[in-house]
A and B are shown apart, each in its own frame.
Chain A
Amino acid sequence: MTDPFPERTFRTDLIALVPKLRRFALSLTGNRQDADDLVQGACEKALKNWAQFQPGSRMDSWMYRIVQTLWLDDRRRHKVRGTAIDPEDAYLSDEGKAASLPEDRLMLEKVRAAMLTLPEGQREVLALIAIEGQSYRGAAETLNVPVGTVMSRLSRARENLLPRLGLAEGRRQ
């Protein structure tokens, strides 16, 4: 059965995805303002090209990809202009929403800061798999790279990230 109102369906599906897109964008940019600007740009692009979306395929992957492409474009432009994101300057706090205990909050701050130090390719893969819960195959489709590339970027991301988090220290033995 064909949907008699495909654009309306597209728009309602898109608005339902906004919270996840904002989370994904936040994990890429590390600050709320840039994340929302990124999501806004991605939604504008999606609305302009909505007819290219294949109904029945995964809209989240389609949108993650638009967000990721725009983010990379922005990063390149910033690099050309010579500005770099300094993790110390970035607004990383969520005002304690995710954690109530101070040491827990400190740990989450550490996670956010560590994420910002990762190269783009590793950050994207880690965000899609660890935060957005995509499968390796799903992430590969979103990023349009082979599954093997996803796996090697993921292990490099973890090699970089895990020592910074100090999660191994607290364990017994």
Chain B
Amino acid sequence: MTNSSIIDREHLAAFADGELSPEDAAAVVMHLADHPEDQAFVDEVMAANIALARAFHAPLQEPVPDRFTALILPETAAQEAVAARVLPFRAKAKPRLWGAGLIGGAMALAAGLAAMAILPGAAPGLSVGPVAAASALHQILTATPSGEVVDFGGLGNLTILASLPATDGFCREFEVISPDALQLQVGLACRAGSAWTVDVLLAEALVSDPAASGNYVPASGGDVPTIDTWLERRGAGLTLSPAEEAAAMAQGWMP
């Protein structure tokens, strides 16, 4: 080694920081073998890097505090709050909102755009009974994976909560949060053949507002039916995993 007797400290630090090319790093390694004082400096820099990384490591081990979720993903935070309040009328807690962390703000998904086009103003887009094949709801039930938030026109945001196998086909549980976030509806739609039917809609005022329940079965307070009653009638089984749901969707929900 001709000129390796002096390597300045910046270069040694760059070596410790992993900034050198493999060739330059190899040259430094050769140099260090003969220069214990430089080796000592490199060791010290590396030890300090490790100590610094450890000294401030705590936030990486903690869950993201609520204040940041509420700020960055307000919809997810609101849904989690809603889920907490809704729990009483869902006797069997289901694995819901897969990948809730992936749900973004109030963005219209492709199906949501269709919903807005088909649901003018206050048209009743959601009612018990057969779902028209050309409707936005049909589209959403057929093609939207669970956990994805869909802009359901003037009715708010719709999220499919779960898909389940049933005797004649499949059922999908969904919820709709009204645009003012005052009302939650939970529904069950089941498919037999090529048509979806909404079996039941349960409504709950998220803030106490007795006028909000309208024509729907109130979902909270007292002795009320639950989605599970309808699931049992359909002979529904266990909630499908995301992979199973994707497979069912790919096969056009044929049993």
- A contact set with B: CB distance below 8 Å: 4-5, 7-9, 11-12, 14-15, 18-20, 22-23, 26-27, 35-36, 39-40, 43-44, 47, 94, 97-99, 107-108, 111-112, 115, 126-127, 129-131, 133, 135-136, 151, 154-155, 158, 161-162, 165, 167-168, 171, 173
Contacts and interface: CB of A to CB of B under 8 A. Distances in A.
Interface size class, chain B: 35 or more
**Residue in A14, A27, A130 with the greatest tally of chain B CB atoms within 10 Å:** A130
A167 B68 contact: no
Contacts of A20: 59-60
A43 B73 CA distance: 11
Nearest to B74: A11
A35 B56 CA distance: 11
19 contacts: A8-B104, A8-B105, A12-B101, A12-B102, A14-B72, A15-B73, A19-B64, A23-B56, A36-B65, A98-B54, A111-B48, A111-B55, A112-B56, A130-B17, A131-B53, A151-B14, A165-B47, A167-B44, A167-B51
B224 interface: no
Contact of A40 (B45, B48, B71): B71
**Residue in B19, B52, B73, B107 with the greatest tally of chain A CB atoms within 10 Å:** B52
B19 A135 contact: yes
B135 interface: no
B23 interface: no
A107 B51 contact: yes
A47 B105 CA distance: 11
B157 to A, nearest CB: 13
A155 B51 contact: no
A27 B58 contact: no
Interface in B1-29: 9-10, 13-14, 17, 19
A23 to B, nearest CB: 5
Nearest to A15: B72
**Residue in B9, B45, B48, B57 with the greatest tally of chain A CB atoms within 10 Å:** B48
B67 A26 contact: no
B104 A151 contact: no
B128 to A, nearest CB: 31
A118 to B, nearest CB: 11
Contacts of B107: 5, 7-8
Contacts of A167: 44, 47-48, 51
A47 B72 contact: yes
Contact of A27 (B10, B40, B49, B52): B52
Contact of B17 (A39, A129, A161): A129
B53 A168 contact: no
B110 interface: yes
Nearest to A167: B47
Contact of B9 (A36, A39, A115, A155): A155
Contacts of B167: none
B72 A168 contact: no
B62 interface: yes
Nearest to B63: A19
Given A8-B107, A12-B102, A18-B72, 12 more contacts: A15-B64, A19-B59, A19-B60, A20-B59, A35-B59, A108-B55, A111-B54, A130-B17, A130-B52, A154-B13, A162-B45, A165-B47
